[in-house]
Amino acid sequence: EEAARLAAAGWSRALPTADVPAGSVRSVRVGTGPGALDVLLVNVGGQITAYENACAHQGLPLDDAELDPVAGTLTCPWHGFCYDATSGECVTMPGAQLATLPLRLVGGDAWVRAEG
């Protein structure tokens, strides 16, 4: 089964894709122990992207980030840093970038892999 192969290859099941409808942002912790990772899933127009849940500015969590699905931007609630929600590129501070995580959508679930 695909899920078993993904798990064996170091992928972690994050959330069912139904839990990340278009125009939404969801945070989830994947993995356990020292390998655990806080992940942010963003859905703009049906395209889901996975990032480490940490603003490139000070590493603060983006759980309450404001998603503008029309403009395709994600704005950090702490200091207003604004990102392209589909690429993670910071539009307010060129050169800054959210850490993008590999993502696969399999069997109705979003799977991410931490880069180690």
- Cβ distance 38 to 13 under 8 Å? no
Place 115 in a pLDDT band, splitting at 50, 70 and 90.
low
Q: What is the pTM of this model?
A: 0.94
How confident is the model at residue 55, as a pLDDT? Answer: 97
Backbone φ and ψ for 76, nearest 5 degrees, come out as -65, 135
How confident is the model at residue 102, as a pLDDT? Answer: 96
Per-residue pLDDT reduced to its tens digit, 68-101: 999 999 999 999 999 999 999 999 998 999 999 9
Per-residue pLDDT reduced to its tens digit, 31-44: 878 878 999 999 99
Q: Which run of H or of E encompasses 100?
A: strand 100-101
CB burial class (10 A; 0-12, 13-18, 19+) of residue 76? buried
- Cβ distance 31 to 12 under 8 Å? yes
